[in-house]
Structure 1
Amino acid sequence: MPGKNDCKKVGKEKVQVRILSNYLSDLREKFEAETGLKISLSQFAKMRPLNVKLACFLSRNSCLCTRHQNFALKLKALKQNNCVTSTSPDNFVHAFPDAEKVDAVLAKLPQGGMVKYEEWKRVEVEGKKKMKIVTSEVETSAFCAKFKEEVPQFRQHVVRANEQYSQLKTLKENLDQYNVAIQMDFAKHYKIKNNEEIQSAYWNCDMVTLHPIVVYFKNENGELQHESTCIVSDEMGHNSATVFAILKRVVPEVKEKHPDVKFIHYWTDSPSSQYRNKTIFSILSDHESLFGMPASWNYFEAGHGKGPCDGVGGTAKRMADEAVNRQATTIQDAKEFYTWAANQERSSIKYMFVSKYECKESQTYLTEKYGSVKAIPGTMSFHAVVGRSGEVKTRSTSCYCEKCFHSHGFHTDTSLCKWDTHKLENRKTGPVQASVPVAGIGDYVAAVYDSSWYVGEVEDVDDGEYSVRFMQQTGQKFKWPQRKDDLWIDPADVLCVVPKPLPTAKSERMFTFSEATLQHIEECFALKVANK
């Protein structure tokens, strides 16, 4: 689990908590099938490590995806009507593999009656969008139609999720001295805190970007090894420019430690703003000229990207908090976090610092070189991308079979497995709009709401939307309202990113923006209204 408090004391050490992504009964069956050994469920449960906890599909904090949770809630409704005996989505997919068997289950529902079920939805509460469980009651025919429509999509979702984990396992088993696998992810921001801080510091605390990375490789004896790295940055934007700046620091480090490496296999989750977009595809197509070796990029199925990076990020944040609490150090910004972390000799995590300036440089470079590259149709359906000069090869799922993969990379041209080729067109320089989000966590933005513009701070980014804490305007000055005014907004409603406001006095109760900033907001707002 990624949280800094998600740890368990095992012996004298604190170990990051891990969550089982399946039921113990299912895991026991898989264990018996793979090993040929027989073991009782109770004995199998006793062997579970202390830091490995059970997950419930219906728990919001279970680290499972929305699709699984919502499907489990519908199965719960079916179970209440005595149609099924289990609410496990994966068990249902395996037990009812075709439409006829699904129809037989739904036929048990009372015809002409009503079906009540729950579903996770983002709903508007007092003008703010929040994730809540919504209870619906519909006619049996409507529920059946909705359920039958979702089953094929969910079945493919489960297949892709399992296939990606299976292919990663295959890759690790077949790694050699010429290949490394790099798994990485953005962790939740580390929030700066001090033992004794004033009120204004508490409400306006800085944050630090953490980007954990785990590199898998084989040693001289052919044993699978890994190295953990955590990138520390003062850049709050989680976008392709930040990812590129990180790669420019990490890849040379990998080449230095593993000089025989000829190919890199990246594994990440699937956010389009960070890893799965035309900019990353363009970087991948030029990876050999940029970094001296080709690469592939593999994506976990949406909602199933949990892995060792979450433990690395959680460990880094927990250790920092413990150091601050025992007054062993003072951390007030990203640079101080890195200075403290880099001196932790007992830590197995290596820390590297990537500055905001490096990220801005990367943004300029990417915009000039790839700004007008056309997006590839079906981008969000790709889970495997292999870069070549000026083009990429893609698949709906990763494939590391002998026909596709060898010691020096992929031979997709001769493989019988289906790989689609896409040429990256229109590489022109010039002033273009960046293909990255307009704002990151901690940035201040001007946004449109209810036919007016407001200024606020981005507190969170989720599923392509921004959670913004808005300020209250009084004349030419701004202040934080007594009652927190936060709202989930669509990126299309963001007018522009603005500089951080300046306090008008030491009390920091009132803030102001420059006249140029306010004029720029007005111009963006006028353009927005004119284009409606």
Structure 2
Amino acid sequence: MWNYSERPHGKGAPDGVGGAVKRMADNHIHGGQDLKSPKDVYEFLVQKEVTNIRFKWIDEADIQVFDEMLPPSVPKVPGILNTHQILSFSVGEIFYRALSCFCRFPEMCHCFSPSKMRPDKSKDLEEPLTSEVQATQPENPNSGEEAEEELDDKYTVGKFVIVRYDQKPFVGQITQLNAEHIEVNCMVQICGKNIFKWPAKRDCIMYSKDELVSVISEPEPHQRGAQLTKYDWLPFNEV
């Protein structure tokens, strides 16, 4: 499973694991011990029996085996620039979507309209999900690509935007779109400051195109939530 952050310095579970591992290694060295190679670090961490973190050593031979299993050319994943999560539960098959979700992990959930693909097939690379999965999705008169063509190219699922509601600005993330409207999951602004956080309950509303102010960067992590860049904070205050 892979999860991607739009901003390179965005923090996630891998950053927390990496920080914990680095801290343990640093404390070990400060105690007068040596870790001279990656294998030394691995053996040290395995002996520590760290809770909730599993370590695996991958040899060069293992990497070569997987390299040999790859075909000479692998077809691209449609819409890869807007993809934030890739999951695989069987050999030769992947699921991908614009937004990440873990509500049923390690099982596959149906949130945010995931697509299925078999990279080893030369035809029908992007397969539709089963009718059971599709039935759980909100009705949408247009497919993702058709809707995106009818709207401005910059408005795509997963993008953060500023919207206008009741003459007030709101920050949110696009979760669904069709020919005339865009569904946005809005954040809550804290005390009128440049601090935003997700509400306990999703606040998804359909907005018309004239209520969309602009596309913005993904809000940056903040102690109390998230924060807009100074370039996005200016248009937010001009609404």
**TM-score surpassing 0.5?**
no
Name the structure with the higher helix share. Answer: 1
Q: What's the TM-score once normalised by structure 2's chain length?
A: 0.42
Q: Which has the larger radius of gyration?
A: 1
